[in-house]
Amino acid sequence: MAATRPQSWSAPLPMAEAVLDVERFHESLEILDEGPQVTAWLLTLCREVPVSGKQVHDANIVATMLAHGERRLLTFNATDFRRYGPRVELVAPA
């Protein structure tokens, strides 16, 4: 969990707290699993959208969304997801 990794701008989240957060999310949100459709979408995105390195992780998020028919993405990082254009609707946290 990235939140448990020390950062120059904040202290890491204790693992026990991170686990509780994930459990809360798991109870209240639908978890979209990966599978063959996600792989197919990921390959399509990697062919059509310029991505490399860590950006492939973002592509996998979008591929998972598309495979499950989800278009909305709540993110603090709209800049990295704009490359997917009309495929996703970016929602800024309030």
Length of the chain, please? Answer: 94
Q: How many CA atoms lie within 13 A of 4 on its CB side?
A: 10
Residue 1: pLDDT band with limits 50, 70, 90: low
Residue 12: pLDDT band with limits 50, 70, 90: confident
Does residue 9 lie within any of the structural domains?
no
Residues of the domain holding 57: 36-91
Rounded distance between C-alpha atoms, residue 45 and residue 92, angstroms: 23
**How many structural domains comprise the chain?**
1
pLDDT surpassing 70 at residue 54: yes
Mean pLDDT of 21-45: 93
Percentage, residues of the chain above pLDDT 90: 74
**45 in Cβ contact with 59 (< 8 Å):** yes
Does residue 72 lie within any of the structural domains?
yes
Q: What is the pTM of this model?
A: 0.77
Return the pLDDT at 70: 95
Does residue 15 lie within any of the structural domains?
no
